[in-house]
Amino acid sequence: MTPQHHTLNYTELTVTDLAAAIAFYQAAFGWTFVDYGRDYAGIASPQGDGEEVGGLLRSSEPRAQGGPLVLLYSDDLDASAEAIVRSGGTIVQKAYSFPGGRRLHFADPSGNELGVWATQQQRNRETLQNQDM
Q: What is the mean pLDDT of residues 19-46?
A: 97
Of 105, 98, 88, 104, which Cα lies nearest the Cα of 120?
98
Report the distance separating Cα 54 and Cα 32, nearest Å. 11
Strand order through the sheet with 52-58: 11-15, 52-58, 40-44, 33-35
pTM given for the model: 0.85
Instruction: State the alpha helices, DSSP H only, in the chain.
Output: 18-29, 77-86, 120-132
The distance from CA 30 to its chain's CA centroid, rounded to whole angstroms, is 10
> Distance (Å, rounded) from C-alpha 100 to C-alpha 83?
23
Per-residue model confidence (pLDDT) at position 87? 98
Q: 46-93, pLDDT tens digit by residue?
A: 999 999 999 999 999 888 887 889 999 999 999 999 999 999 999 999
**pLDDT score of 62:** 84
Predicted local distance difference test score (pLDDT) of residue 124: 52
